[in-house]
Every structure is written in structure tokens, then in C-alpha cells.
Amino acid sequence: MPFLATTASTPVVAASATAVLIVAFGLIVQGMTVWKLRKAIKPTRLVPFLVGGAIGVPIGGEILHWASAASLRLGIGLVLVAFSSCSLVRPKLPSAGKAGRLTDGGIGILNDALGGATGLAGVILTIWCSVRDWPPPEQGAVFSRSASRSFG
């Protein structure tokens, strides 16, 4: 959805307003998804990701201060190519069903550091939720709640 907001608004809206639209549409879409999956939300499952995210977003913001624009573009491009390739090929990833809350928190830090630096909140979390062997509604609940918090 953020891509659509960017694409549709670029010719007619200032760049600063486009950023606001991306965040607004992200919050709306994630908020609707959270509402739809509200019965699958398990607060104890969310806590490590939310705590990790509270640490990760400022780290991502700091990355913007010391990383060059060229290295960020290259890094973002590599992440997008890797994520797209993984989504296209759909390899059987090893199960992380027995990973604990500490690992979930570490994934929250990585996910939201990437989100804080690039706006790509959820790439790492999406892959992680799929290897945790959780049912799809619970995966969606974790991702949507964490993503809506990242945008907010």
C-alpha cells in the first residue's frame, strides 16, 4: 500500500506530503488488519517484538546519521532483492518453532532497525513469523500489530 501511495501521489503532491500519506495509509491498512485479526492477538507473543522494536527504531534512525546515502541505497536494494527472491522461490526454511522470547526480541530489534532506517518495517518479521510455525492468523496478528506500532 505505501508503494501505491507513493506512485499515485508523486506527480501531484509534494515530497513531504507523500511521506505523510505513506505513514497514514500504512496505519490505516495495518489498523484494519489488526481489527480483523484481533481474536488471534496474543499479548504475550507480541511483547518481545514490541520491546525489540522500541530499541530497534532508534537504532535505525541513528543508521541514517552515519551511513552514506549510496550505502543505504545499496543495502535497501539488496534486502529487497533477497526478500523478493525468497518470496518468489519459497524455499523450505528450517523451523524456528523452539526459538524463545529472547530471539523474538532480537528479531524485533533487527526488523525495526531496518524499518527505522528504510521504512521497510516488516520484512524480517514476515520471514521470521513464517519459520516460527505459528498458524497464519497468529502470524498476521504479530506482523500487523508490530507494523502498526512501527508506523505510529
Do 21 and 73 belong to one domain? no
Do 2 and 46 belong to one domain? no
Do 27 and 74 belong to one domain? no
Name the helix (H) or strand (E) containing 139: helix 136-151
At residue 105, the pLDDT reads 93
Do 30 and 93 belong to one domain? no
Closest CA to 1 of 109, 121, 90: 121
Q: What string of pLDDT tens digits covers the 152 residues of the chain? A: 445 545 554 566 676 677 677 777 777 877 787 777 777 778 888 899 889 988 998 998 898 888 888 888 898 888 889 888 888 887 888 888 889 999 999 999 998 888 888 877 788 888 898 888 888 888 888 877 665 555 55
pTM: 0.72
Do 59 and 95 belong to one domain? yes
Do 32 and 58 belong to one domain? no
Number of residues assigned to the chain: 152
**Overall domain count for the chain:** 2
Do 103 and 64 belong to one domain? yes
Gap between the Cα atoms of 17 and 148, Å rounded: 19
Do 54 and 20 belong to one domain? no
Do 118 and 71 belong to one domain? yes
Range of the domain at 61: 42-151
Do 32 and 48 belong to one domain? no
- Cα dihedral 143/19/73/139 (nearest 10): 10
- Could you tell me how far CA 139 lies from the centroid of its own chain? 13
**b/e string for 50-70 if b means 16 or more Cβ within 10 A?**
bebbeebbeebeebeeeeeee
Gap between the Cα atoms of 52 and 14, Å rounded: 33
If you search the block for the grid coordinates 551511513, which residue do you land on? 67
